[in-house]
Chains A and B, each alone.
Chain A
């Protein structure tokens, strides 16, 4: 049985040389399955499917003790829902997502890796997964499907896309929500640099469409703690506007503004039972996924 502490998470920096998003996702997801105590495969289905042998490293709670009593073999019960989960991954590809501080993966790169990994997980669970990428407007919209081709399509789409345009997070989410007809799940990967009230309004729209929503709030480490060591000439990556700032003062005001922004969105998410997880791009992917999935699992 593998001890969880023995699991080695791969840092984004270690994965960044791997250009293939598919390979990145596979490495992440396989590593994640091997390291997790609880399999994320069981989280989203309720109908019994079959038994399979118990694998070391899995939680003993998943062992079918009745079967063990009858056959003296440790097996794990697998479930499958009668109907697939319709999941949509909403990835922000605005220019603000292109930001990555020195030595850290850019937010977009990190975000699409997360999206690919999630798509991989969904497809492996035989759930239908779709993709929506947006900047100022919705750029790509793939309806959810549960086939392997869909996974390849998603990964190819993610591979091709690059950041552009300003963040119109709220409008894009609104647009995506309008297209949803069935109950399902939405995973929003964004830095949420938009008007918080509009963002909340859009999330409310998703909830209205009976979407179980996960917000992966993706931030660079510098967006967590603004640099305060020198005067700065800051160029807004979205608007191209340039401002001259004193490092210390800017950091104080940034943190103050960010704190208020975060408090507003997080409180709205709590109110709407939306799972909002702040992920920083210097964090290993597996850890970020585990945090999201574990939290998700606890909700069910």
Chain B
């Protein structure tokens, strides 16, 4: 066994004790006495053989004793299998880094026991079954670092919290610390491994060169189920009901009550139910509340994960959104018509202006500006392009496809992207729009969708900013970009007015697309019904404005002050009051992350080259693994050898004493 295969090679000095039996053996060798004897007839035949046997036994006894001492020394030196990466877990000088998933999904209570409690038991198991002198560090969620198990944890730090996982932070900290470790560390991750977390881990496993053991301990429930409610549309001046989406994951929802509560007052109630892994939309009639007031919808169903059984909402403001459509001719009529069609339900106040006649006041008073097919910018528009505006706007830019529009197109797109990009028109192939994914800012929660009723024959490329809607060939149909003044630009690569480049205005895709993009833009400039998700940081709407706001919870307790922080957020779901300085207060609703509700679990899968370093097991498997690892086949073999040697020693000792 080579020296590196021992955790305590320094213990090998004790092999010097092997000399003890050798010395005793040689001291016990008596000097031969010469004897002249009458006859050796009774000695010659058998005694000589017996004497040889005895000498052999003495030699074997010596060897057995030497081997016993050597095995004991090796056991003290703590051997391990150098080819088994998990042997490093038995190293008493090594370190174990433990990360316990702090996300709210760990508060799932399986048979009354929360997953984070099971995770705690796993940590205690590691603590008790790994060598005592081995250091165990648990990632401290609040401190953002690995804390020694003996260090007192921050009392205020809860075991679980809302918001995204801190895996990235933990992995950075782990990589930083392991570089300073003299011994091979071990990483233990205890989580329910929801699909979105596992994606991060898979990336880690693929990109990191693992030279250390990674233990994934999953505490995911065996038969998870959950019911969740989400407010789709709050009541407003135009509607006296709340539209809710009720979802049942993993188990059928038997008829359960759905109540609308305004403060302590129940203002509406419905019975609802749905099948397993389905959703149902429910309208709960409620009295029309005051605008901009908080309320909640509560699903009265018992399930293991209660955080998403209440959805908070704020009633819509009565003030309509002011939309200004700036166009050179009548080609922008479909846009105006679309906004007007939405005015009743969504509250748009739509006006139009000519490209040259639009004034500074028009632009200042509008919250959403649609620039459709412009070729020559007026001075107010030039001022808008250069950022001379008091408030941030949502600007939907629809390019003209003729040559006369090229200069303005290049000016606008170039100011938001690379100036030397050379934006050109691509045509000749009919394409259709694709809503690309389910995780982008705009389409979060929606499935991938392709609409083949829309035919796009020409578009500009390349487009600056972040793609929101793509084309079937992978190009960009609409993108989002922010300029230096903070305006939110929704840039279309193809006209949204009547144009031969596409038939967008003639399809059912047109109106919802405009509505969706407008609301997205409003949310980006802090005007719209921003979706606040508990634990998720968003851009501070007061950042850079010089103004600030006090934040109060539903009971009126001040919980924060937003001023110059770049990113702000709320820890828990609920309704919060934002009181800006010298402005009227307004409420925001904070919801639980829908990703946590879905209870979609996936075990991490290691790539082939990392498989020997990775083990995935559940909590029961962890106990078995640690128990098996405590012994180790090689260690067991040594104990067996020691036992056999001890038996041999006793046997040979007895034989030595007997004739």
Contact = CB atoms under 8 A, between A and B. Distances in A.
Contacts of A232: 32-35
B659 interface: yes
18 contacts: A98-B38, A193-B39, A193-B41, A223-B38, A231-B31, A232-B33, A235-B36, A237-B37, A243-B40, A243-B43, A243-B44, A245-B43, A245-B48, A248-B54, A250-B43, A253-B47, A254-B42, A254-B43
* Residue among A193, A231, A247, A261 with most chain B CB within 10 A: A231
A136 to B, nearest CB: 14
Contact of B44 (A167, A241, A248): A241
Contacts of B266: none
A261 B38 contact: no
Contact of A249 (B33, B38, B40, B51): B51
Contacts of B34: 232-233, 235
B30 interface: yes
B221 to A, nearest CB: 73
A264 to B, nearest CB: 13
B50 interface: yes
A236 interface: yes
Contacts of B33: 230-233, 247
A237 B34 CA distance: 12
Contact of B659 (A98, A222, A245, A249): A249
Contact of B40 (A220, A236, A247, A258): A236
Nearest to A195: B41
A237 B40 CA distance: 9
Contact of A230 (B31, B40, B48, B54): B31
A235 B38 contact: no
A248 B659 contact: yes
Nearest to B36: A235
B35 to A, nearest CB: 5
Contacts of B32: 230-233, 244
A96 B39 contact: yes
A263 interface: no
Interface in B1-59: 30-44, 46-48, 50-51, 54-55
Contact of B37 (A234, A248, A253, A257): A234
Contact of B55 (A95, A246, A261): A246
A90 interface: no
Contact of A257 (B38, B42, B51): B42
Contacts of B35: 227, 232-235
A99 interface: yes
Nearest to B29: A231
A249 B47 contact: yes
A253 B50 contact: yes
Residue of A97, A98, A220, A245 with highest tally of chain B CB at under 10 A: A245
B30 A231 contact: yes
A227 B36 CA distance: 12
A137 interface: no
B50 A107 contact: no
A31 to B, nearest CB: 29
A238 interface: yes
Interface of A: 95-99, 107, 167, 191, 193, 220, 222-223, 227, 229-239, 241, 243-250, 252-254, 256-258, 261
Contacts of B55: 246
A19 B503 CA distance: 151
A258 B46 CA distance: 13
Interface residues of B, number: 23
Given A97-B38, A231-B31, A256-B42, 15 more contacts: A107-B38, A227-B35, A229-B30, A230-B31, A231-B30, A231-B32, A231-B33, A233-B34, A236-B39, A237-B36, A238-B39, A243-B44, A243-B48, A244-B48, A245-B51
A220 B38 CA distance: 9
B36 A99 contact: yes
Contacts of A241: 40, 44
B334 to A, nearest CB: 117
Contacts of B37: 99, 222, 234-237
A99 B40 CA distance: 12
Contacts of A222: 37
Contacts of B50: 246, 249-250, 252-253
Contacts of B46: 253, 257
Interface string B197-209: 0000000000000
A289 B45 CA distance: 36
Contacts of A238: 38-39
A253 B47 CA distance: 6
With a 10 A CB-CB cut-off, give which of B41, B46, B47, B55 has the most chain A CB atoms.
Answer: B47
Contacts of A96: 38-39
Contact of A261 (B30, B42, B48, B51): B42
Contacts of A257: 41-43, 46
B38 A246 contact: no
Nearest to B58: A246
A107 B36 CA distance: 13
Contacts of A229: 30
Nearest to B659: A252
A232 B37 CA distance: 11
B2 to A, nearest CB: 41
Contacts of A250: 43, 47, 50-51
Nearest to B656: A248
Interface in B405-428: none
A99 B37 CA distance: 6
A167 to B, nearest CB: 7
Contacts of A237: 36-39
Contacts of B43: 234, 243, 245, 250, 253-254, 257
Closest 7 CB pairs of A and B: A257-B42, A99-B38, A96-B38, A252-B659, A253-B47, A193-B39, A246-B51
A257 B40 CA distance: 10
A210 to B, nearest CB: 31
B58 to A, nearest CB: 9
Contacts of A254: 42-43, 47
A219 to B, nearest CB: 9
Contacts of A97: 38
A237 B48 CA distance: 17
Contact of B42 (A98, A227, A258): A258
B173 to A, nearest CB: 70
Contacts of B659: 248-249, 252-253
Interface string B354-381: 0000000000000000000000000000
B55 to A, nearest CB: 7
In the complex, which of the residues A223, A232, A249 has the most CB atoms of chain B within 10 Å of its own CB atom? A249
Contacts of A235: 34-37
Contacts of A167: 39
Nearest to A258: B42
Nearest to B34: A233
A236 B30 CA distance: 22
A142 B434 CA distance: 141
Nearest to A252: B659
Contacts of B48: 243-245
Contacts of A233: 32-35
A222 B39 CA distance: 12
Most buried by B among A234, A248, A261: A234
A245 B47 contact: yes
A244 to B, nearest CB: 7
A191 B37 CA distance: 12
A227 B39 CA distance: 14
Contacts of B51: 231, 244-246, 249-250
B658 to A, nearest CB: 9
A60 B217 CA distance: 110
A234 B39 CA distance: 9
Contacts of B47: 243, 245-246, 249-250, 252-254
Nearest to A219: B38
- Most chain A CB within 10 A, of B37, B44, B50, is at B37
Nearest to A166: B39
Contacts of A239: 40
